[in-house]
Each structure stands twice: as C-alpha cells, then as structure tokens.
Amino acid sequence: MPGRPRSPSASPAAPARQRQSPANGAGAASTMAAGFPLTQTAAKGLPQSEVEPQVRAFHRRIASVLAILAGLLVVAVILGSSIGPVPVPFDKTVAIVLQRLGLDTGVAFSAREALVVDQVRLPRVLTAVLVGAALGTAGTIMQGVFRNPLADPGVIGVSSGAAVGAVTCIALGWSAAHRWMLPAFAFAGAMASIALVFGIWASGRLRSVSTLLLIGIGINSLLSAVISAIMTLAKNEQELRGIVFWLQGGLDARTWEHVSLIALPIVLGIALALVYGRDMNMLLLGEEHAKSAGVHVGRTRLVLLLLASLITGTGVAVTGVIGFVGLIVPHLLRLIAGPDHRLLLPASALGGALFLVLADLVSRVAFQPHNLQVGVVTAFVGAPLFLFMALRSSRAGVH
C-alpha cells in the first residue's frame, strides 16, 4: 500500500522566501510588482515542471489506491468462496465464478463444488461486498457531514430503526410467514426512524448539524429502549434467540435473491454519493468555508445524509445490525489515503466490502463447526483496531 504521496514541491528547490521591505502602505504595495493576476492565469516564474508532476501524482494516487483495494477485494471474494466446510481449490472457485460470468476456463470441477460456490458461498460473499460497501461509504459520509470521526452509519438512528422494525416482526411471529417479511419490516423501520429524526430536526428552530446529531443520539437511545422492552416480552427462547441473532448481524443463508434485491439501491446510492466528493472536502473545512466556496451547504448535506441512510437501511435490512465497519473503515483509509473525499469515498466503499468479506470468512472458520455472527467478528477485530488508531491519530494531531 503506498503511503500518501505528497506533492513534489517539498524538494530542496524550495522557493526563495520573499523579501519584504518595511515601507508605507503604498510603497510596500509597489514592491509586490508581480501581483496576483485577476484574469490571466499564466503563472510567471514558476517552472511548469514543478506543477506538472503534481497533477499526475494526484491521479496516480487515486488510481493506485483504488486498484490495490479492488485487487484485494477480488482476492478476498475468491478466498471467501473457496474456504469453508467443503473446501474448494482456488482455481476451481475462479473457474466456477468465471463460468457464471459466461467464461469457460477449461478447469474441471464437480457439480457439488459448483453448487457450494455458486449457490451457497458466492451470494453470501456478494451480500457482504454490497453491505460492506454501503456501510463503509455511509460511515465516511456521516463522519464528513458531522465533521466528527466518531460518527457511524447509524448515528442518526437508521440502524436502530431497522432493528425495531425487525424485532417487532420477529416478536409478532410474522418473520416466518414470508422470507421477505423481516427485511421489509427492517427497511420500513429504518425509513420511519429517518423520517422521525428529520421531522424533529425540521420542526426545530436551530437547524444545525450538531442539533441533528443530538436528535440522532436521543432517538437511538429511545429505540434501544423499545428493543429491550420487546425482548422482555418475547414469548419463548427461540424467538429471543432470533432477535439476538438479528441484532448481532449475520450473513448466513443469504441467496442470490438477497443480492439482487439490495444491489441496485446500494450501487446507485454509492454512485450518487461519489458525485459529491469535492463538496464533502469543502464541508470538512466548515460550513462557512463550504458556503463561501460555492457549495449549497443545506441541500448538499441533506442529499448526503439521505443517501447514507438509504444505503445503510437497505444493507441492514438484509443482514441485521453490523457495527464497526462504518466506523473503522473510513478511519483506516483516511490514514492511508488522506482526507480527500474524491478518493476516500470510493476507497471506503471498496474497503468496507473488503473488511466485511474478511470478517465473514473469519466468522465461519474461527470456531468451526460453530459460526460466529459476523457482527461479533467485526466488533472483535474493529474495537482493538479502533483503539490503536485513536492513539495513533491523536499523536498525529487529528481529532
């Protein structure tokens, strides 16, 4: 992984410091003979060779970080589809995946291997890819919009809303009625809580993001109380177990139908969010900076928050609450790739996908034959990583 290539202008050929003669206003001004050109843009006196490599360095940084993450993600997908109770060699896994894409590699594999990879593992892994990408992107958006590195995709209540929806569905015994019942309830819960949070925000007098953050915290604790209340009312052990499992987040028994259900909203949501990369950079500097740079602050924020909530709600609806992905991935990538959101947004989509696929793999193999819930693994891996980064970044002066 490359570090963060800064521009090359720190070379020893640093510009000579400008001399400033003390004089009266007019006199001092006239010493600045090379004033800043208002309309013409030719940068006199600056060798072009200094600037040219910088432009290329930026493109190279974007391309290399994204290529490396995409490469790692492909490897992780193959690993995740190969490893399990029925081991399938990597070359056969690749052949099966390629065959699905219509490419014949000539590598032989059995029907059973094809079934395990194609029907059991691949949909599960791709669900992890989509949900991880959604959580990574949504985490980056939330941290950026709130200018708070502790924000995560659920910070304004999407995840707890989904949880209330899902828990209600299970407690009413409706989750068995149809397999889409649970995700539908979860998604409805997510959207209802967003509507509630934004409704309260809009009705308030002070419509600042810190108010929104406080409303989110308030709604989150209210909804977790609701969940606890429903759990106490659970009729039997099995129902309680169902609720706990959903709250821990899992990828078991996810099918191609799950994948196709969430693919469009998540891919579309992420693609739209990428459009706002540069606006997000401006927002990070602060509201006044962004506004004076020409960003339509209120509208941009609202669009970004809605997009983040939509993709989070979609993802959480099919997997349950998976914590730490949306918190940890933006942090980690900010350390590696820097805070420029034109790179950070796509990088955290890829990084979130990578993290969740690997966490899912660990959850399956760590305590065989038992499966851990993937949300448990993300917390196990995420929490120490988070502590490490918190210490590291406070040393670097990033708060």
Partner 1 sequence: MEPRIAARGISYHAGDKRILHGVDLAARDGEFVGLLGPNGAGKSTLLRVLAGLIKPSMGTVTIDGDDLTAMRPIDVARKVAYVPQDTHVAFDFSVWEIVLMGRHPHLPRFAVEGKRDHEIAALAMEQVGVRHLGDRSITSLSGGERQMVFIAKALAQQPQILLLDEPVSALDIRHQLHVLSLVRSYTEKGATAIAVLHDLNLAARFCHRLYLMAEGAVTAQGPPDAVYTEEALARSYRVRAAVRYDPLVQSTTVTALGALEERAEPEGLQTTSESHENTRTT
Binding site for partner 1 (CB under 8 A): 6-7, 9-10, 14-15, 17-18, 20, 22-26, 28-32, 34-39, 41-46, 48, 50-52, 54-55, 58-59, 147, 149, 275, 278, 281-282, 284-286, 288-289, 291-297, 334, 338-340, 342, 396-399
Smaller CB separation from partner 1, 57 or 184: 57
- Measured from the CB atom, is 31 or 119 closer to partner 1? 31
Q: For tokens 């899902």, name the residue.
A: 166
Q: Residue written as tokens 């990088």?
A: 347
| Pair of tokens at residue 84 | 């399990």
At 56, list the tokens.
């290329």
Q: How far is the CB of 50 from partner 1 (least distance, A)?
A: 7
CB 315 within 8 A of CB 262: yes
Q: Give min distance, CB of 326 to partner 1, in A.
A: 17
Angle at 113 between CA 111 and CA 117, to 5 degrees: 120
Give Cβ neighbours of residue 258 (< 8 Å, ≥ 6 apart). Answer: 123, 127, 183, 318
Report CA-CA distances (Å) from 281 to 56, 266, 278, 346, 380.
20, 22, 5, 14, 31
Which CB sits closer to partner 1, 105 or 393? 393
Task: Tell me whether residue 178 or residue 395 sits nearer to partner 1 (CB atom).
Answer: 395
Question: Min. distance of Cβ 360 from partner 1 in angstroms?
Answer: 31
The first and second tokens of residue 126, run together, are: 């791709």
User: How far apart are the C-alpha atoms of 239 and 196, rounded to whole Å?
Assistant: 28
Q: Answer whether 251's CB lies under 8 Å from 127's CB.
A: yes
Instruction: Please identify, using beta-carbon distances, which residue of 8 and 84 lies nearer to partner 1.
Output: 8
Look at the alpha carbons of 294, 296, 301, 304 in this order and tell me if their dihedral is positive or negative.
Answer: negative
Cβ at position 297, least distance to partner 1 in Å:
8
Nearest to 318 by CA among 139, 138, 204, 187: 187
Please tell me the distance from the alpha carbon of residue 189 to that of residue 247, in angstroms, as a whole number.
14
CB of 328 to partner 1, least distance (A): 17
When the beta carbons of 227 and 297 are compared against partner 1, the nearer one is: 297
- Amino acid identity, position 357: V
Q: Which is nearer to partner 1, 367 or 388 (CB)?
A: 388
Question: Please, where are the H alpha helices in the chain?
Answer: 25-31, 48-82, 90-100, 111-115, 122-145, 158-171, 181-203, 209-232, 237-248, 256-274, 277-285, 287-292, 297-319, 325-337, 341-365, 374-395
C-beta closer to partner 1: residue 222 or 293: 293
Q: Find the shortest distance in angstroms from Cβ 148 to partner 1.
A: 8
C-beta of 48 vs 236, nearer to partner 1 = 48
